[in-house]
Structure 1
Amino acid sequence: MPDLEHPRLIISNFLSFDECKELEFIHKSCSTVGYRPNVFSTTLSHLIATNSSHLIMPFIPIRERLKDKLEEFFGCEYELFTEFTGLISWTKGSSIGWHSDDNRPYLKQRDYAAVCYLNSYGADFSGGLFHFQEGEPTSIMPMAGDVVMYTADHRNIHSVDEIIDGERLTLTLWFSRDGSHDEDAKLISLLSQNLLHDKMAVPSLPLPASCNMYWFSGEQGSSQQLGFNICWARLQILGYDIYLSQDDDCDSDVSEFLIKPVQLVRGSEMLEQEFVNILHVLQVVHFYLWKASTLQTREATIDKKITKLSELQRQKINGLNSVVLSDPGLVARVFSRISEESVSICFDWKGIVAAINAWEDYTSTLIKQIHLQLPYWKSHQSMYNVQVGE
């Protein structure tokens, strides 16, 4: 039985290495500006709204395992509903003071929380230690795969130290006994609306949300302030540039750039492959980072042409960057550390081309799965891992 004074549970290696990396891929290629300064978030409803509904599939078995373990430990089997599921990352300067998760009136429905760490203190970020105000353990050092579960009330008041460097990434779930706050019913309704036509034959391509959801400024203010678009920033810190395939004026509104076809640039070279928009190329690049070690590239040939940038094309890229990355210094401060694994991956155009094909296969598989499982979810008004026969 849990400690009734401070009921909490810490489990090491609850998630596998590959589960952590898959969720990291989803977050870094789909996230938006979060609910507080220097925080980024990816919710399941956002994935559905941006035509990436299939990317909710990796969450489903993890949510089930977390809910089952939490109900077992706290003795509340079959009583809980998942109220919120989201990926949240904290970058330099973000922190949380002492609080309980239900200390705001509009969050009173939250009864339990589960926080899964997707990367590790020391290796991926500095700072960001988790502390409980009372009870044991008093402090938790986040390590990839570990999970902490606790009651979302005054018995588990907690805080998070300021992030000094890097990006601290978590999968966070809240649970409620109040069925009116069940996340599943809302998500199933959204899925039903967004999957009316059959997309099983071709991969589903992402569609960006509104521009302000991707615009980061130091004060989280108006889009007119200095700042950067996080999609472009995540690519630039990895050593990539983006070339607009269409001959557009870089004085255009940033929102227009989100939906324009683009090409990927590395140094002085450009891949002729055209991506439908910035989110499309961002997903492929982060898929490459996730799967680089398993991609079959040794005997591969590049079926896409690589061209040298002209001076005019370089000027056009620089002009675009001055708009979407209007404060390069802020980019460097926020994304102040690239993981050692990302740096150690030896760039190869063959790898990128192989990643494009592998990403399409991965996406197609998830699309088939969600189309097969959605009828069961609609019937039970619950999202669970359906064992569908071939």
Structure 2
Amino acid sequence: MSEKEHPRLILHNFLSPAECKELEFIHKSSSTIGYRPNVFSTTLSHLIATNSPHLIIPFVSIRERLKEKIEETFGCEYELFIEFTGLISWCKGASIGWHSDDNRSYLKQRDFAAVCYLNSYEKDFIGGLFRFQSGEPVTVAPSAGDVIMYTADDRNIHSVDEVTDGERLTLALWFSRDSSHEEDSKLLSRLSQCFDVCVARLHLLGFDVHSLQGEDHSTDASEQLMGPLQLAKGGKLLTRKFANILHALQVVQFYHWKASELVTSNVENDTLEEVKAMSHSQLETINALKSVFLLDENLVATTFGYSCSGEDRKDSLDLTGIALAVTSWEEYSCKLLKELLSSLPQWKTYQTIHKVESD
């Protein structure tokens, strides 16, 4: 078969070992359950939505290089748009049968594909071989850094064998001639919100964030919400530490939900002592973080539909109540987790998610 009948290209060492390891780090620290059994994925939109937009930076130059090589290889310079970028890992039991990458009505915009391997066959995983139905090569046994480029139509029908051991890591991109399916515009829309969602929701309830990493001026701003932090309000600081911004937000929203049930009239002295006056340097750290993650407070209010009707609730939430809410939130979370773990065996047995009565 000629290359014209089955347009494809395999390049070895297209990605450096350092690039492969960096993308592996991003995937293994950020991935979510994928689109089929035993598959996990990390998309750029997922990174933005989960407060890790800085992690899209390592993809930028790689995407550009892949696009340029695809356009050069298939003679379509300046014609293509990146339609999708994602890290995908295939674990034991994962496979996919014969298909083309445009085999659904909602995938017809895909013209070309690139699959970059981040680890190596027989070293990091067993099975998981990429096979073309016709043309050469028939089978691809990759090493870390290799890339396969091919047309996404029925000239390159392919499959992936079942992974029998290990985890097969790839970076997958699709390209389209249709600008309306360009991924960049969607990502820019999400990046242009001018605020961090978690910081914004805390702000609407009257709380500011004091990052303990922010006191170290050498720390990158993007890392400050990922590490230990404290909450502040009205010149006061709750000395209790939260693991990260998501932990703090969950506790505050739980307090917002359960405030009427949490008794704060007889607060123990230990809890009261957790609330201290803020220092000038702590206030500076808080304001510096707000200048990065809360650029437009009016946009926050408009986006979440916040109005004066929420002022009473906002003022009723205090730092002492947050300290009390932590224990109740932990009990609530543990209860749900226990119920989930006890329900899973029956859910798997009957292949339905249903209420399981406790013994």
Matched residue, 1:42: 42
Matched residue, 1:32: 32
CA deviation vs aligned residue, 1:13-65 (integer Å, no higher than 9, x gap): 00000100000000000000001111100000000011100000000000000
**Structure 1 segment 203-282 matched on structure 2, within 5 A:** 203-206=223-226
Shift of 1:3: 1.4
- Within 2, Cα distance between the matches of 1:126 and 1:6? 27
Q: Which amino acid aligns with 1:149?
A: M
Shift of 1:205: 2.8
Matched residue, 1:165: 165
Matched residue, 2:5: 5
Q: Which has the higher helix share?
A: 2
- Within 1, Cα distance between the matches of 2:88 and 2:223? 26
CA deviation vs aligned residue, 1:210-262 (integer Å, no higher than 9, x gap): xxxxxxxxxxxxxxxxxxxxxxxxxxxxxxxxxxx99xxxxxxxx989957xx
Shift of 1:118: 0.4
> In the superposition, relative to structure 1, how do residues 201 and 52 fare at CA in structure 2: closer, same or farther (>3 Å)?
closer
Unaligned runs of 5+ in 1: 208-244, 247-254, 261-315, 331-390
SS for the counterpart of 1:28 is: helix
**Structure 1 segment 308-323 matched on structure 2, within 5 A:** 323=338
Matched residue, 2:187: 187
- Within 2, Cα distance between the matches of 1:185 and 1:93? 36
- Within 1, Cα distance between the matches of 2:100 and 2:249? 38
Q: Indicate conservation of the 8 Å contact 1:48/1:194, yes or no.
A: no
Matched residue, 1:100: 100
**Structure 1 segment 1-390 matched on structure 2, within 5 A:** 3-195=3-195, 201=221, 203-206=223-226, 323=338, 326=341
- Within 1, Cα distance between the matches of 2:68 and 2:339? 44
Shift of 1:149: 0.2
Q: Indicate conservation of the 8 Å contact 2:54/2:222, yes or no.
A: no
Q: Indicate conservation of the 8 Å contact 1:125/1:165, yes or no.
A: yes
User: TM-score under structure 2 normalisation?
Assistant: 0.58
Q: Indicate conservation of the 8 Å contact 1:8/1:149, yes or no.
A: yes
User: TM-score under structure 1 normalisation?
Assistant: 0.53
Shift of 1:123: 1.1
SS for the counterpart of 1:193 is: coil
CA deviation vs aligned residue, 1:105-164 (integer Å, no higher than 9, x gap): 110000000000001111111110000000000000121100000000000000000010
CA deviation vs aligned residue, 1:296-341 (integer Å, no higher than 9, x gap): xxxxxxxxxxxxxxxxxxxx9xx89x849949x99xxxxxxxxxxx
> In the superposition, relative to structure 1, how do residues 194 and 206 fare at CA in structure 2: closer, same or farther (>3 Å)?
farther
Q: Which amino acid aligns with 1:24?
A: E
- Aligned-residue Cα RMSD (Å) equals 3.2
- Within 2, Cα distance between the matches of 1:121 and 1:129? 8
Q: Which amino acid aligns with 2:20?
A: C
SS for the counterpart of 2:193 is: helix
- Within 2, Cα distance between the matches of 1:20 and 1:43? 16
Q: Which amino acid aligns with 1:205?
A: L
Larger Rg belongs to: 2
- Within 2, Cα distance between the matches of 1:105 and 1:134? 24
How many residue pairs match? The answer is 226
Which ranges of 4 or more aligned residues in structure 1 deviate by more than 3 Å?
194-197, 199-202, 255-260, 322-327
- Within 2, Cα distance between the matches of 1:64 and 1:202? 24
- Within 2, Cα distance between the matches of 1:15 and 1:204? 30
> In the superposition, relative to structure 1, how do residues 78 and 29 fare at CA in structure 2: closer, same or farther (>3 Å)?
same
SS for the counterpart of 1:57 is: helix
> In the superposition, relative to structure 1, how do residues 257 and 101 fare at CA in structure 2: closer, same or farther (>3 Å)?
farther
> In the superposition, relative to structure 1, how do residues 90 and 46 fare at CA in structure 2: closer, same or farther (>3 Å)?
same
- Within 2, Cα distance between the matches of 1:97 and 1:74? 26
Higher relative contact order (CA 8 A, sep 6+): 1
- Within 1, Cα distance between the matches of 2:84 and 2:249? 28
Q: Report sequence identity in percent.
A: 69
> In the superposition, relative to structure 1, how do residues 194 and 324 fare at CA in structure 2: closer, same or farther (>3 Å)?
farther
> In the superposition, relative to structure 1, how do residues 201 and 94 fare at CA in structure 2: closer, same or farther (>3 Å)?
closer
- Within 2, Cα distance between the matches of 1:9 and 1:52? 33
Q: Which amino acid aligns with 2:52?
A: S
- Within 2, Cα distance between the matches of 1:45 and 1:10? 28
